[in-house]
Every structure is written in structure tokens, then in C-alpha cells.
Amino acid sequence: MLTQSVGSLLSLSGQRKMIPIVENRPQFVHALDSLEVKTIFLRHCNLFEFGVLLEHAYRCKRALYVNIDHIDGIHPDAAGLRYLAHHLHVTGILSSNPKTLALAKSFGLESIQRIFAVDSTGLEAALHSVDTRSVDLLDISPAPVVPYVIPYLKTPLPLPFTASGLIFTFKQVQAIIEAGASAVAVAKSDLWSK
């Protein structure tokens, strides 16, 4: 039986538009202390140092997503993804690797495919490669390009999307939400409570 977080970017009602990106213990504590935060992205950290915090997040019904391409201590193979699903109460993963995302789905994890919008041609090609059977959401990076690129795509996005990367101001967040993002993932903790 899976023991994942009960929250989800797919089902949380009243979901705040800001998602904290947590990279260390103080940031994790700060995110958990904020009653407005319902979803947290974890990256560049060691999950095994967060045992008590992960359990607390689960009890508080916070949705936890792990950027599996940028995390310490867990490999994105069957054993690692099974451990995330069965033991660490993780809701889902973020990855740019389609095989990892498909494998995550087999363990009941939600999957977010990271798409890097280097240029419009690359973005279009990446979007055509999305397998909607194994991907639940997209994450477009860097986020500031969203208002300039998404409205001009030849075909609409195949899934709802979040945006992340290179966010420095609340004004940027507003523009990205207005361009259609479901939420914006932000590493700057001073923006989390706005």
C-alpha cells in the first residue's frame, strides 16, 4: 500500500499559485511553518536528512514533489522511486527524462515533465515528445519566458503547466500566472508568502 502525501497539484482546491522550492533544512522548516503552503518542490538536498520533516509534511497533508534529476541520495531507478513512493510520503517527481517519469507512474507517483524553453523550436519539439499517459503536468523553465512563448505556440500545451527558474520578483510571478501557468515554483523564500 502506498503511503504518499494526500495532497496533489492535480486535486488541491484553493491551491496557492506559489510553490516553494526547498533546498535545505531551514527552507523546509520555513515552508512547513507557512499555513498557506500546500505544495513543496524539493531539489539539491539529501532527503535522508529530512526524515522528521518529511513525516511532518505528510501529517500536515502537504504535497511533496522531488526533482529526481537534482536530488542527493536517491537514484531515479525502480528501487529509488519505490522508496520515494512507499517510505518517504512523496506525492510525485519532476524530471526531464521520459523513462523516469513512466517508471514513477508505475509506482503511483505523479509526474511532472520539466521542459527547458531554450528557443521556440526546441520548446515545440519537447512538447511534441510529451507522453500524456505517463506525465501529469509540465514544468516550463526558465519561467520568465512563459509570457513571451506560451501565447505564441502553434499548438496548445497538451497538459496544465507550472513554471520555475529565474524568478526574482512578484511581478514576474503575476505575469507568468496571467500567461496560463497553474502555479510558479520559486526558490526565493521572501516571495513564498505573497
Q: Is the pLDDT of residue 4 over 50?
A: no
Please state, for a pLDDT cut of 70, what percent of the chain lies above it: 92
Distance CA 40, CA 55 (A): 14
> Averaged over 157-183, what is the pLDDT?
94
The rounded mean pLDDT for the chain is 89
CB contact at 8 A, 171 and 191: no
pLDDT of residue 17: 85
Q: Is the pLDDT of residue 194 over 90?
A: no
pLDDT of residue 118: 83
Cα–Cα nearest to 85, from 58, 124, 46? 58
pLDDT of residue 13: 45
Q: Is the pLDDT of residue 75 over 70?
A: yes
pLDDT of residue 121: 79
pLDDT interval class at 64 (50, 70, 90): very high
Query: What is 18-191's CATH number?
Result: 3.20.20.70
Amino acid at 142: P
Q: What is the pLDDT of residues 95-150, one digit of tens each?
A: 999 999 999 999 999 999 999 988 877 788 888 889 999 999 999 999 999 999 98
pLDDT of residue 11: 59
Domain layout of the chain by residue ranges: 18-191
Say which residues have a Cβ less than 8 Å from residue 179's Cβ, sequence separation at least 6. Answer: 146, 147, 150, 151
> Averaged over 52-81, what is the pLDDT?
94
pLDDT interval class at 5 (50, 70, 90): very low
Beta bridge partners of 64: 40
Q: What is the pTM of this model?
A: 0.91
> Averaged over 40-69, what is the pLDDT?
94
> Averaged over 22-45, what is the pLDDT?
94
Cα–Cα nearest to 84, from 104, 99, 98? 104
Q: Is the pLDDT of residue 15 over 70?
A: no
Beta bridge partners of 135: none
Place of cell 515552508: 31
Say which residues have a Cβ less than 8 Å from residue 117's Cβ, sequence separation at least 6. Answer: 123, 140, 141, 142, 145, 146, 149
